[in-house]
Amino acid sequence: MVRRASSVVTDESQKENSPRSRRSDEKASKTRRGGLKESQAARVEHEDEDVEQSQMNGHNSDEDAEGSQAQSDAEEEEEREGSPKGRKRARANTVGDAHTPEPEPRVKKQVTLPRDVDGYIPGSIVRIRLKNFVTYDSVEFFPGPRLNMILGPNGTGKSSIACAICLGLNFPPHVLGRATDLPSFVKNDATEGYIEIELKGPKGQPNLVIKRTLSQKSKSSQFYLNNESVSGKEINARMAELNVQVSNLCSFLPQDRVAEFARMSPQQLLRETQRAAGDENLTAWHDTLIAAGRELKTLQESMVADREQLKTLQERNASLEREVKLFEQRRAIEQEIELLEILVAYREYNDLREKFRELKHLRKETLEKANEIAKKNAPILALTELLAKQHKQLEATREQKKAAAKKKFEAMRLKWNHGEALDDEAEELKNKLASLKEEERERQRKIRSLENLIQSAQETIANPPKTESLDDINEQLKAALSENREIRDRQTDLHERVRAYVTEQAKHKFELERAQRELTQLDDLSSRKLVNLRRADPDAADAVEWIRQNQHRFKMEIVEPPMLSLDVPDKAFASAIEANFPWNDLRTFVAQCDEDYKLLNRLLVDTPEALGRKVRLNTWYKSHGQIAPPPVSPEELRALGFDGFAIDFVRCPDGLRWFLENNLQLHRTAIAVKNPNRVNVQRANEIYAGTGGRYIIGNVSNTVSRSKYGKRLPFTATSGIKGAQWFTQVAVDPSIKERIQTQIRDAQTQLQVCNEKIEELKSEDAKIKAAMTENDRKKNNLLGRKNAVVDAQKKLQGTRLKLESDQRKLQQLLNAPSLDEERARLKREILQCARKRAGILKDYEKLIREAIRLQEEATRVGLQFAQLGANMAKVKSLYKERQEEHSAAVARYKDIEAQFHKVKDDAHDKLNESKQLLKDCSPETGERFQEMDGAGQINARTVDEYKDDLAVQQGNLEFAKGANPGVVEQYHNRVQAIKELSERIEDREEKIQKKERSIKIARDNWEPALTKLVESVGQKFSTAFDRIGCAGEIKVTPHEDYDKWAIDILVKFRDDEKLQLLTGERQSGGERSLTTIMYLMSLTEQARTPFSLVDEINQGMDARAERAVHNSLVEVTCKEDSCQYFLITPKLLADLNYHERMKVLCVNNGEWLPEETDRIGNMMGMIEAYVHYRNQNHSRSSA
């Protein structure tokens, strides 16, 4: 549950407790009490609910009166913070009076109820009992019905009694100005405690015993009323009935809120005074006047504005009357044209409708004639269809016969081709038979050739050529390769040494060039800044140079550190500006988007990708958003004596400005350097106390912040600022220049050494290359000899393989069949081919005969097909002649059908057109058309006559002067607005009269009663001040706005002064305390509350004032008709006045107290014992 801030319970908080809500609360309370009795269970209510309800109910329920408003801006703020529902206001009724439309029963308030026989007024405190409360373990005491003076040293628990009264009666803790949570009021060494207060009940009724339990472990508390568990709402209701006003500073002034009384605005003082004293209806009357006055002012302002608007509207319409008449004349012609256009369209529709009826009859006649012709042509059509069917069947038969004959011819072709193939095969066999002798001679020749080749190969294999040993050559080649590897290793090592010297040479060249650039650019300011940065942070300097060369890799500009990119044009402000920069912020690189921020960190910080090493850099990025604005405007700042804000005296890239404002708050840091003595330091501290911040005056930096403890009071820390080091013009440092020249000489020396080493290595490399060449020649020679041996071995192996192949071929030729066997085989194959050809000839003859038969049948069917086709053509010719007559009849019908639909569509269009024109026309034109249609006048004239009239009226319209339709519309709108405005003015005049009467009645009641109260209080106030040799006056300050009426307290404490208004700053603490108690005493006789309390009001008074105040207070509060009064004080002067009606309560508190007996612990008993002891001693001395 979110805890809400507590607020002061004022009469405004009571207005939320409307009659309806109180009645529902009482009903709900009774229901809850019944449920508690049944279940015999106590309900613990959360403290927040109690506080909230106390704010809602309060103690002045009669202030639900009509038109209640907030008593002041401060109380409105407290009401908004404290109440979740906010304040409610009675709604205005129909005549504008602000009052509750439906009065309902509400809790009756007792005002100064009659005193009982024991001297107590109902609502007075009869008894207080505390258990484990603040400083008390246990205490019980019984205040008197009038003045109760509570005495005791500081820290004994006097103010705790005020706390107990406030909390025990369910008023919020913030009324006390101390701790705001209940557990803090429980004694430190205890876990639970309670407050029990007995209030005097109405005459004839028992007293009210209210008990509230407290716990260290919980913010909740439980209430009991006469030993029955109740809610905080019910306690608040009882307090309202008894008119207990603990939240009113005029009746209950705790120690920690004494100063707040003087700080109350005069308007607040008026409202609190009305609540505490005088007529009980003062606040209600005042609220009515405030609400009604505001409503009256609003009504009067609205009526003045309405009358001015009415006059303006009437003047504007008077100038438009002539144009409106011309417009109406033109409008009459337009309406006549509008009617004629409708008549033309309607008359054309009637003509088309007559034509439609004629065509409809003609279409029917032509359709009947076409159907009759079609009926006569039906037999011829049937014969045509029968012949077509027979013709189609004969065509299919003919095609079938032709296909069968075609298949036979295809079979004949295949047989013929087969015979031709056999003939070719026989011819080939005959040719082979003729060439058998030649093939035999060729076979014998191949046998002899193979035998010669085999003999030559065998001789080659038997006598192979002599070759070197392949193993010896391989050993020599292996040694050459080993030597080659050694040479290459030496060469690789040499190259590594050369590479190292080249790298070192490049490094020294780079250092030489960089040193030369630094020396050349040393006089340049930017370069000198970079040199200074390199001295302070070499990593940051290297990063700057890399970013300058690689800015294109980023989406947006990477802003260099402020040490480089920020400049202070006016060097007088350099030290003050530099004082705002911590060392890390001076070296911070600023990215302008998250993508660049991540890339920058990855390239430079997280990996060695950019510089070859990881570096430590300060980088920053934050998306743009809301930041705290400057505490004051530039004009106000200069009025305070400052030169401006720090951001005004710097020059930097746009991307850096967001860093300066967000991270360093330069836009909120005020600087005064040129004339620091003009600065109002106190005012500057007040400005920065709210939000904290920093300002610089001369060479002193002031940082304002709030304490983290207690009341979080503001405090200012000051420190001196050093002279600027980075934001001033940097002169050339000779030592730096000498150091750079030394670097150049060292780099040149190292570069010369590297060059010499590289030359030595080059000569060594030439020797290695010569050895490598000789090794390559030797290796190539060995490889050639090895290849020759390998080739000879391969050639010998090839000879062996060829020998085996030739031997296989020779064996095949030797195993071939003889010449006679081959001749007999060929003759057998030739005979077999001749037999196959004879069979094919027989089949071919059979196919020829079958093809002839099928061809004859196909010819016969073709003749029948031709005859049937001729018959069908004749019948079709006859049908065509008959069909042309039918087509002519159908064409006639279609033509009439087209005319019929066209006329129908035209008539429909004309009907729609006339309907649309009638729909769009003015109501007057529509009525005229209906009259003519009802009288049958429309068809009395032709379309042409109507068109002639239309042309005439259109001509008249051209000569009629036109007016702006918008002007006419404005005229009529203004006429309606004038009517409505006149009615509204009459209604507001009536409301104003009623409101004025209501205000007069309320003021006639309120002002005399208020004047009487203030005069009475003022007379007592002035008299009291006269008794102490000072002057005081109270007066009412009226105002046209009733919520600004005020009570001004004017005081004078010295003869050479004039009367001055009491404020929280003008008078001293003692003077404010004296004025406060004098005012509260002056209210006492008029008070309506059953008891009042003032805590340590005499602090800061001198002895004379304190004595006068004490004696006056005793006199006022000990009268017969005085209400109960509590005066808490830690000290008393000697020889003060006392009264028999006052009661003195002495607080004795400490680590050890004796048990209370008849003699020890009872003050009265101790006094009586002392008097008795003194009397005895006096008697003895006399004897």
The contacts of residue 145 (CB under 8 Å, 6+ apart) are 115, 118, 119, 120, 121, 124, 1124, 1141
1026-1039: per-residue pLDDT in tens?
877 788 888 888 88
Q: What is the largest CA-CA distance in the chain?
A: 201
Tell me what pLDDT residue 660 has: 92
Ordered DSSP codes for 136-201: EEEEEE---SSEEEEE--TTSSHHHHHHHHHHHTT--GGGGTS--SGGGGB-TT-SEEEEEEEEPP
Tell me what pLDDT residue 198 has: 93
Amino acid at 455: Q
pLDDT at 36 over 50: no
What is the residue whose two structure tokens read 């804000």? 645
Tell me what pLDDT residue 1057 has: 80
Which of 189-198, 681-690, 1066-1075 shows the highest mean pLDDT?
Answer: 189-198
Amino acid at 540: A
Mean pLDDT value across residues 842-861 = 80
Q: How far is CA 560 from CA 325, 380, 473, 481, 529, in A?
A: 79, 109, 72, 60, 12
Distance CA(1152)–CA(938), nearest Å, equals: 122
pLDDT at 305 over 80: yes
Please name which of 254, 10, 127, 352 lies closest in space to residue 1093, comparing C-alpha atoms: 254
958-981: per-residue pLDDT in tens?
766 665 667 777 777 878 888 888
> Which of helix, strand or coil describes residue 98?
strand
**Sheet hosting strand 644-645, strand order edge to edge:** 644-645, 670-672, 693-697, 700-706, 714-720
361-374: per-residue pLDDT in tens?
888 888 888 887 77
Tell me what pLDDT residue 696 has: 92
Q: How far is CA 80 from CA 4, 5, 77, 88, 175, in A?
A: 10, 10, 5, 11, 16
What is the residue whose two structure tokens read 């090794």? 775
Amino acid at 1170: Y
Q: Name the average pLDDT for the chain.
A: 77
Distance CA(841)–CA(129), nearest Å, equals: 151
In eight-state DSSP terms, residue 714 is E
Tell me what pLDDT residue 262 has: 61
pLDDT at 245 over 80: no
578-605: per-residue pLDDT in tens?
899 998 999 999 999 999 999 999 999 9
pLDDT at 32 over 60: no
Pseudo-torsion of CA 237, 241, 246, 252, nearest 10°?
Answer: 180
Lowest mean pLDDT among 127-136, 440-449, 748-757: 440-449
**Sheet hosting strand 1046-1052, strand order edge to edge:** 1031-1037, 1046-1052, 1060-1061
pLDDT at 67 over 50: no
Percent of the chain whose predicted confidence (pLDDT) is above 70: 82
pLDDT at 208 over 70: yes
pLDDT tier for residue 216 given thresholds of 50, 70 and 90: confident
pLDDT tier for residue 211 given thresholds of 50, 70 and 90: very high
Whether 644 and 637 have beta carbons less than 8 Å apart is answered as: yes
With 0-12 / 13-18 / 19 or more C-beta atoms within 10 angstroms meaning exposed / middle / buried, residue 629 is: exposed
The contacts of residue 776 (CB under 8 Å, 6+ apart) are 484
The contacts of residue 258 (CB under 8 Å, 6+ apart) are 1072, 1073, 1076, 1095, 1096, 1097, 1099
Lowest mean pLDDT among 347-351, 488-492, 812-816, 885-889: 812-816
pLDDT at 95 over 70: no
Distance CA(472)–CA(1078), nearest Å, equals: 136
For residue 114, which phi and psi values (nearest 5 degrees)?
-60, 140
Of the two residues 683 and 1157, the one the predictor is more confident about is 683
Tell me what pLDDT residue 41 has: 33
530-555: per-residue pLDDT in tens?
888 888 899 999 999 999 899 999 99
Which of 50-59, 679-688, 700-709, 1161-1170 shows the highest mean pLDDT?
Answer: 679-688
> Which of helix, strand or coil describes residue 92?
strand
Lowest mean pLDDT among 279-288, 320-329, 347-356, 790-799: 320-329
Q: What ranges make up the beta strands (E) of 382-536?
A: none
Whether 246 and 170 have beta carbons less than 8 Å apart is answered as: no
In eight-state DSSP terms, residue 227 is T
For the chain, what's the residue count? 1183
Of the two residues 452 and 1085, the one the predictor is more confident about is 452
Tell me what pLDDT residue 296 has: 84
Tell me what pLDDT residue 35 has: 39
Whether 69 and 1043 have beta carbons less than 8 Å apart is answered as: yes
With 0-12 / 13-18 / 19 or more C-beta atoms within 10 angstroms meaning exposed / middle / buried, residue 538 is: exposed
> Which of helix, strand or coil describes residue 557?
coil
> Which of helix, strand or coil describes residue 1034?
strand
Mean pLDDT value across residues 877-881 = 75
Amino acid at 586: L
pLDDT at 669 over 80: yes
Stretch (H or E) spanning 42: none
Distance CA(833)–CA(855), nearest Å, equals: 33
Distance CA(267)–CA(690), nearest Å, equals: 26
Distance CA(46)–CA(700), nearest Å, equals: 52
Percent of the chain whose predicted confidence (pLDDT) is above 90: 9
Mean pLDDT value across residues 1123-1128 = 87
Can you read off the two tokens belonging to residue 1050? 């004017």
Distance CA(123)–CA(207), nearest Å, equals: 9
Mean pLDDT value across residues 622-641 = 88
